[in-house]
Amino acid sequence: MARIVVGGIAIEYDSFGREDAEAMLLISGLGVQMIRWAAPFCEALAARGYRVIRFDNRDAGLSTHMARAPVPELMVVARAVARGVPPDVPYRLDDMAADAVGLLDALGIERAHVIGRSMGGMIAQLMASEHPDRVMSLTSIMSSTGNPGLPPAMPEAMAALTRPAPDPRQDEEGFLANAMGLARVIGSPGYPFDEAAQRAQALAELRRAYDPAGFGRQLAAIAAAGDRRGRLTKIVAPTLVVHGAVDKLVPVAAGRDTAAHIKGAELKVIEGMGHDLPPELYETVISAIVDNARRDGPPA
């Protein structure tokens, strides 16, 4: 893994595949570190002839944490957005999209295929709408448009996501149990739940970095983004929207709405998939990503 400074933000990243191949940039979700893009997934994608780059968003993993910034109250942010008043937040999704573009700049990459999951899908959408010359193709996975008319998360999913976890410095087992509970609630019921693998993932992320305030600031950035449907109509890159049919956190209606507002977008709804990416779906999702990328032309 390596680190590079982009606009005053240190970005931790790593890369798979040939450095001279077409780039695929993987953007992580809310509070999620880049290692949630599992190495086997990245390696399989790189084997298709691409340079695959994953990185930690600001306020996650080993990238810069905005530790001096407060965590905004979500209701205050939501009320401001509803009134059409710019909310007071430490940063916006547009800033996170600028981080991703800056990473490409620093790596000498003019254009990339951009793939984002959940919040990362929102960031990828903004890259494609605001920086069209940098995005060869777009894949938005388990994400949304910010349309306030969409169905909300299932109550049990939102409760599991926002429930305060025990401090792992005082109660590591309790912290891991909380993480496992979230993984079960939002995971893919059509596929086996690998408890050992999920625990290992949670422990690896905990050992790598721990900052619940960073999660709160990222959540505020999502809330501040509001309805992005008008911006999505500007996207010209070949676009694939992937969504789980049984996603409890971001219901499938959000994926349908995303595809409906991007001209020419292809929608792939996967039965049995929730708000995660089980290994059994790697080949399915990778093949769909590559097929979409090739709409822009074969890899160099």
Tens of pLDDT, residue by residue over 261-280, are: 999 999 999 999 999 999 99
Q: How far apart are alpha carbons 287 and 241 in whole angstroms?
A: 13
Summarised one tens digit per residue, pLDDT across range 34-45 is 999 999 999 999
Across the chain, mean pLDDT equals 96
Predicted pLDDT of residue 11: 98
| Cα distance from N-terminal residue to C-terminal residue, the chain | 24
pLDDT at 300 over 70: no
Predicted pLDDT of residue 139: 98
pLDDT at 76 over 90: yes
The neighbouring-strand residues paired with 269 are 243
Q: Is 117 helix (H, G, I), strand (E, B) or coil?
A: strand
Predicted pLDDT of residue 32: 95
Residues above pLDDT 90, as percent of the chain = 95
Q: How far apart are alpha carbons 121 and 130 in whole angstroms?
A: 14
Q: How far apart are alpha carbons 288 and 44 in whole angstroms?
A: 13
- Taking the alpha carbons of 2, 93, 140, 240 in that order, is the dihedral positive or negative? negative
Kindly list the structural domains of the chain, giving each domain's residue range(s) and its CATH number in brackets, ordered by start: 2-152+212-296 (3.40.50.1820)
Predicted pLDDT of residue 1: 80
The neighbouring-strand residues paired with 10 are 5
Q: How far apart are alpha carbons 8 and 2 in whole angstroms?
A: 16
